[in-house]
Every structure is written in C-alpha cells, then in structure tokens.
C-alpha cells in the first residue's frame, strides 16, 4: 500500500500482504459458507442515517461507563485469540493500545501472552474472556489468576461448544501453538494430520456439555462480575438475566461459529428489549466504522459497545 491505511478495510488489506496465509485466513475467516460473515457487515450497510442540521456539535463528549468503569468512547476491544501470530509483542501491545485510547480490552482465554504479562504491561482496566474446559480446575485457575492480576470482569463465551467449521483452517492445517497460560497444565499444540489443529485442540478441551449451571459455578469461584458473550435471542437474554449475569454481549463470534446465525445488528433491538435495562448490553459483529457504532447506539442500545478491531489486523501502539 502506497500510503498509510486510513480505515479498517485498508488495515485488513495490509494484513493480508504481510501475514503468512495460514494466519491471515484464521484471523479473517468465518465458518462454512461465510454467509453470516458477509451479512454482519452488509446489515450495517443497509442502515442509513437520518441527519439533523444546525445542532451545536462543537464540543462532543463520547465518554461512557461500562460496569462503572469510565471509557473515552463506547468502543472496547473484543477478545481475539493469539495476537503473537501477527506480532511478536502480541496482547501486550494490544493492551497498551487500548490503554492509550482509554478503553477496556477484553483479553482472550486463548491469548499468546500470559494473563500476568498483560496485567503488568500497563495500568488500565481490563476484562478476562473465559472458555470453560472439560478440566474445570484449569479454567478456575485461569479465572483466579486473572482476578489476582486485577482484571475487573469475566466474559464467559457461550457460543463455542464446538469450534465452528472454518474451512480455510482445515485446508491450511492450521497449527495451534502452545499457549503460555496453559504451560504445565495442558497441551494446546494438538496435532491434526488431516485438518485444523486449532479445531482439534478446541474439541479436545472445550466442555461441550456446558449449560446454565455454569453461571452458578463461576459465581462460586470468583467475585468478579460475569458477562455472557454470544446471546442472539430474546429467550436466551431473559434466561441470562434470570441466571443473574451482570451483563450480556450480543455476538455471533464474528460469524466464526454457527454460519447462518443472524447478523448481530439485526437482533440487537430484540435482545435489548428483552433485557429491559436490567443489565448492560454490549454488542459486536460487523462494526467497521464509527458510523456503525452510531447506528448500534441509535438502535436503542445505550450501555456500551464492544468493537473488535480484528478484521483490520490486531492493533497496538507498536503495530504497523
Ligand atoms: C481472529 C479472531 C479470534 C477470536 N477469538 C476469540 C476468542 O478467543 N474468544 C472470544 O470470545 N471471541 C473471539 N473472537 C470473536 C470476537 O470476540 C468478536 O465476537 C468478533 O470478532 C466480532 O465480530 P467482528 O470480527 O465482525 O468485529 C475472535 C474473533 C476473531 C476475528
Ligand atoms: C480454539 C481457539 C478459539 C479462539 C476463538 O474463539 C476463535 O478463533 O474464534
């Protein structure tokens, strides 16, 4: 690219040029036909804005609070796995980037840097995203390490009982690295000769029997607030509130899990309505521009926003 990238799409093009194909495909891809991947973005493009004129916008304050923590704008960093596949500084750089923007980063359970490395990288509010392993003792250890390291909430991802069928990863025989968080506890570098090593790792370790009981279990091992990530229906939104969660994340996992699940922006109102203001609702999927954040806010959502920068390459202070 001749000049500096100026939007997420251009960052993505740059990422494609510089990353090994296996990693680019992993970051950029969705499940199966990638129908939902396309829909996540196109559903935003179908929404237009009704502008009003002669309103004084000379002083704008976009700051908001999420679970009582102030951030500079309703934009956060969604949890995305394995940043060191893209840059040697990995999640430590992402954490510094988020801190410089005065916002909250949600660290992925499958991060390449450890919980402690990220915690000591800079002074900022961070949340910890959790997958629940069949070996619950290991998941519990991770939550407790995050709590001890000063993370302020647990974001439990519930849309991956099995990993989505990502055909590029299967073809590339995607290699899962050994994740440092689990060293001495469990091998994540699972070998698969005939498909995605990442899928093999997930299917060997993730607890696919997970149900609502997990919220009570989580409460018993941590005093941190609990958010549930992956809600797409009013039924599940109500059940999450009844289960006593502290927040809901409307998400289809960036279309990487169940293909033909709806574009997230198309179900936002349904979920917000069901939640009825009882807990904050956060949102991700298909956001590529500030106007998308505005559209989501304008559709009745007032609690905050998770914005994944993943499609534009993982950003951080020192990433190019
Ligand atoms: C490369 C990549 C890795 C991801 N890893 C995780 C993860 O470890 N845990 C998780 O809950 N969600 C993960 N997600 C999903 C994001 O948190 C988020 O839901 C999604 O990226 C939002 O959609 P968008 O990519 O259209 O912005 C990942 C997404 C991408 C693109
Ligand atoms: C097994 C790692 C899964 C990370 C993840 O959530 C994703 O790639 O979407």
Q: Is residue 300 part of a domain?
A: yes
Does 312 sit in the ligand 1 pocket, CB within 6 Å?
no
Q: Is 279 a domain residue?
A: yes
For residue 315, what pLDDT is reported?
27
In a domain, 238, yes or no: yes
For the stretch 278-301, pLDDT in tens is 999 999 999 999 999 999 988 855
Percent of the chain residues past pLDDT 90, beyond the cut: 87
The answer to whether residue 55 sits within a structural domain is no
For residue 184, tell me if it sits in a domain.
yes
- The count of structural domains within the chain is 1
Q: Is 166 annotated as a binding residue?
A: yes
Structural domain contains residue 177: yes
Q: What percent of the chain has pLDDT over 70?
A: 93
User: Any idea which of 145-149, 191-195, 250-254 has the lowest mean pLDDT?
Assistant: 191-195
222 CA from centroid of ligand 1 (Å): 24
Three-state DSSP class for residue 212: coil
Is the C-beta atom of 214 inside 6 A of ligand 2? no
Q: What is the pLDDT of residue 318?
A: 23
| Residue 253 is among the residues annotated as catalytic for this protein | yes
Question: What's the pTM?
Answer: 0.94
Give the per-residue pLDDT at 303: 37
Looking at residue 32, which CATH number applies to its domain?
3.20.20.70
Does residue 156 belong to any structural domain of this protein?
yes
DSSP string, 6-41: -SHHHHHHHHHHHS-HHHHHHHH--STT-HHHHHHH
Domain assignment of residue 148, yes or no: yes
- Separation of alpha carbons 232 and 189, rounded Å: 31
Range of the domain at 219: 8-46+68-312
CA 36 to chain centre: 16
């Amino acid at each position: 690219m001749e000049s500096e990238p100026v939007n997420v799409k251009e960052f993505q093009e740059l990422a494609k040029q510089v990353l090994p194909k296996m990693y680019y495909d992993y970051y950029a891809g969705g499940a199966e036909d990638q129908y939902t991947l396309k829909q996540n973005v196109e559903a935003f493009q179908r929404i237009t804005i009704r502008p009003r004129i002669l309103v004084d916008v000379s002083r704008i304050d976009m700051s908001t609070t999420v679970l009582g923590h102030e951030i500079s704008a309703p934009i956060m960093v969604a949890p995305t796995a394995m940043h060191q596949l893209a840059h040697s500084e990995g999640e430590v750089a992402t954490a510094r980037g988020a801190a410089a923007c005065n916002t909250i980063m949600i660290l992925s359970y499958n991060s390449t840097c450890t919980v402690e490395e990220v915690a000591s990288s800079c002074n900022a509010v961070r949340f910890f995203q959790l997958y629940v392993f069949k070996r619950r003792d290991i998941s519990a250890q991770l939550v407790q390490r995050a709590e001890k390291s000063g993370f302020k909430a647990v974001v439990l991802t519930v849309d991956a009982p099995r990993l989505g069928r990502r055909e590029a990863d299967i073809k590339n025989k995607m290699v899962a690295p050994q994740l440092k968080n689990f060293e001495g506890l469990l091998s994540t570098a699972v070998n698969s000769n005939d498909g995605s090593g990442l899928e093999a790792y997930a299917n060997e370790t993730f607890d696919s029997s997970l149900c609502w009981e997990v919220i009570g279990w989580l409460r018993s091992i941590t005093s941190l607030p609990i958010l549930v990530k992956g809600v797409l229906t009013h039924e599940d939104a109500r059940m999450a509130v009844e289960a006593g969660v502290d927040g809901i994340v409307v998400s289809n996992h960036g279309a990487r899990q169940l293909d033909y699940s709806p574009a997230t922006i198309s179900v936002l109102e349904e979920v917000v309505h069901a939640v009825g203001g009882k807990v904050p609702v956060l949102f991700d999927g298909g956001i590529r521009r500030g106007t998308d954040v505005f559209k989501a806010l304008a559709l009745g959502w007032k609690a905050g926003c998770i914005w994944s920068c993943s499609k534009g390459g993982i950003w951080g202070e020192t990433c190019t």
